[in-house]
Chains A and B, each alone.
Chain A
């Protein structure tokens, strides 16, 4: 645990990284514009690319939030998918309420699944979700509150390392089972689909796609800046100290529980935000998002990109998901081998991920 993962990289690398990130953001920002070009234009980008990139951006926010908890505070959460899904569900509930009487049964209030499952009234926890600000508040509050409770209980008892990972995994597993129950009032396995509009814009149009894309991009850049700023403050330094030697930090007089709790809750909220942006873009949320495998995959993105560097988390999310999108079509029978092999290779040979690899290559060239 004492490997110094965040040794400050040489300043040239940092500069190069920043420049690279800036270019990447600009390139991403250009995508919807290129999509608007006529289909036969040389620079035209298909709807598919735009929508799939929008999805990756959300994954990148999730990876970022996980990196804050794992890379900087040493909390390896195997339940971050749960925060992501809760944010998604909060957004999904808003979108369901907005369908209004346009559902298949034309019920003015109840979503379709409630109608055919025989509900007569809207459950209390669905109240208020028709208002966008309330829904957005819940997107942050629900995952945040869950993280607060779980984190408080766990950190207070000094549950660390592997135990914490298993605990968070149990959390997301329990939530998955619970959300699969139709009696919970969240649509069971079918979850929420067939969304119509958001903020007055009909979904499934290029304009809505572009708007969601930009919203996600802004959220990504914003989260990145927040995390970057945070890790550079004294608080961030203490967090890293706790990660590397928790007992020592405690004996030095730092309240490690509080420091970790803050990072964990913030991280959960960012994950919730990612989920909220994700749902209208993919058009569905169901309890499968809680599945422990999803959370582990998110951890792998961070590991592949480079744990403990924010750029690494983003890079990991993009590269692994791009690979997955490509392979599931190009090699539908073999993609699991490639992906599994990649995870093995990265953990064995690239303990600091792709960022570490770039770093090493650059140093080699410099010397």
Chain B
């Protein structure tokens, strides 16, 4: 303790000198965009860690200019004076605005200043930032940081950053070292940096070309993996949307044109849950997981009401149920529009669903898509379990296979119908929770998925959940593989035409039910 005090005492004069330069640079941060750039660069050159919170506040839009011109940092409801940290009144203060150019400079400066941070996430972000800002001045900084770094992942980013910075140096040997470092990566950014250097330094073009080719080889593998993932991800969305339909249509033979509206109700339930839990700090972060059972219940209740009230009068007339449910769908859609307004509703993503995840070989996948993929498989698993393992599932299968015998065995077929339909609708509601994370939460949400869902169910084989899974995933992957060549629209048209041709070859779909049930 005493030592520290002495150390601080020693620092005082040095700090005093820096204080002037530091203090002099600060007001520039609240000036015009060009002044801001200059001030940030000067602060970065000073290397004073006190600048970090101020610059970060500026980057995050939390830096305010008080009525007297003093810089304040807003932190939630409170505000502090930027340099002293004393509490301040932010009532009259005005946010300091920046633009993309300032933002890019700030990121570079912040990166340099926080390479030595104790927080690994901050160091990783800093490595990233330094990589993007890339100037030769950073080389010693990066070398020092590399020497201290233990985390393999951060080391990797630091090495890339070092490579990029070396490439920006004036010396050819240094540049060559940079090329070697970059050529070991599989990132488009590294490729971009190399190509940029190629234009600037024609002398090294052959080395750079070789490095780019090496990256390209790795990228091709990565791209294939990513396309495959994108296909699976699209497939998982189709699977979720179609799963409920596989139950109501596949098992019960009811064409529910309001299926999309149940999906939409699930998404709105997510929105309502989010708003309702906003005031309860303990539960607010869990609003999305809590929405899953809520959406299931809401959609299931609507489904049960529709089945008992309307559809049961029409059994054996599947085409009439189509018209009826279309009418119901219209009404649900308009009701939601009147209650919630026609505008999109914001359902925010929890932090664990944002950003990307890096897998092996530099393959990156977006977190939300990954979660939805996992989620869809879980929902599928639960659905299969419910049908295979529970009493309700047993009764459901019995009623599907032979209603009369089932009734004779004492199964209350009416109740089973209601439960089955409610179950299928509930799954649609769950799909809505997932879709709220990637699509608009608007009254039209469901309309976009209804036809695709029917195609998946029919393609996979009506009545077969395995067929729905395989159907959804293969359609997703085929779509994504075709997309770069044919464009988004044509890819979809091709897939539709292919399904139409396929259905006429195998009218019962991929996984056709065999035996008596197939004769229906």
User: In the complex, what residues of A have CB within 8 A of residue B497's CB?
Assistant: 174
Partner of B319, one of A158, A161, A170, A333: A161
Task: Report A-chain residues with C-beta under 8 Å of the C-beta of B507.
Answer: 157-159, 163
Hey, which chain B residues are within 8 Å of A166, CB to CB?
A: 454-455, 458
Our count of residue pairs bridging A and B at CB distance below 8 angstroms stands at 116
Cα(A334)–Cα(B337), bound, Å: 11
Please tell me if the beta carbons of A303 and B501 are within 8 angstroms of each other in the complex: no
Q: How many residues of B contact A (CB 8 A)?
A: 41
Partner of A339, one of B257, B313, B323, B327: B327
Q: Are A167 and B503 in contact (CB under 8 A)?
A: yes
- Give B304-331 interface residues, CB cut-off 8 Å to A: 310, 313-314, 318-324, 326-331
Residue in chain B with minimal CB distance to A337? B331
The interface size bin for chain A is 35 or more
Residue B489 interfacial (CB < 8 Å): yes
Q: Does B496 contact A (CB under 8 A)?
A: yes
- Chain A residues with Cβ below 8 Å from B253 are 162
Q: Check if B324 sits within 8 Å of A343, measured CB to CB.
A: yes
- Kindly state whether residue A225 has any CB partner on chain B within 8 Å: no
Q: Is the Cβ of A348 less than 8 Å from the Cβ of B314?
A: yes
| A159 with B496: CB separation less than 8 A | no
A124-165 vs B, Cβ < 8 Å mask (1 yes, 0 no): 000000000000000000000000001001101111011101
* Chain A hits for B408, CB < 8 A: none
A347 close to B454 (CB less than 8 A): no
A341 CB → nearest B CB, Å = 7
Across-interface contacts of B451 in A (CB, < 8 A): 169-170, 173, 292
A332-351 vs B, CB cutoff 8 Å, 1 = contact: the mask equals: 01101101111110111001
When the two chains form the complex, which single residue of A162, A169, A178, A333 contacts B318, counting CB atoms closer than 8 Å?
Answer: A162
Given contacts A162-B319, A343-B324, A347-B314, contact A157 B455 (CB under 8 A): no
Q: Is there a chain B Cβ closer than 8 Å to A68's Cβ?
A: no
Contact with B along A153-195 (1 / 0, CB 8 A): 1101111011101110111011001101100000000000000
* Chain B residue contacts of A333, Cβ below 8 A: 334, 338
Quick one: closest A residue to B322, CB to CB? Answer: A165
The interface centre, meaning the residue of B323, B328, B489, B505 with most chain A CB atoms within 10 A of its CB, is: B323
**Does A277 reach chain B (CB closer than 8 Å)?**
no
A residues less than 8 Å from B496 (CB atoms)? 170, 173-174, 177
Q: A296-B257, A300-B326, A344-B310 are in contact. Are A177 and B489 (CB under 8 A)?
A: yes
A269 to B501, CA, bound (A): 23
B510 to chain A, nearest CB (A): 14
- B318 near A174 with CB under 8 A, answer no
Query: In the complex the two chains form, what is the Cα distance from A299 to B455 in whole Å?
Result: 20
The residue in chain B whose Cβ has the minimal distance to the Cβ of A172 is: B451
CA distance A333 to B322 in the complex (A): 24
A192 to B43, CA, bound (A): 61
Q: How far is the CA of A206 from the CA of B417 in the complex (A)?
A: 57
Asked whether, in the complex, the Cβ of B504 is within 8 Å of the Cβ of A343, the reply is: no
CA of A340 to CA of B333 in the docked complex: distance in angstroms?
10
What's the nearest-Cβ distance from chain A to residue B318, in Å? 5
Q: Report how far A181 CA is from B486 CA in the complex, Å.
A: 12
Minimum-distance CB pairs A-B, first 3? A343-B327, A340-B330, A336-B334
| 9 pairs, A vs B, C-beta closer than 8 Å | A156-B504, A167-B500, A181-B490, A299-B323, A300-B323, A342-B327, A343-B323, A343-B326, A347-B320
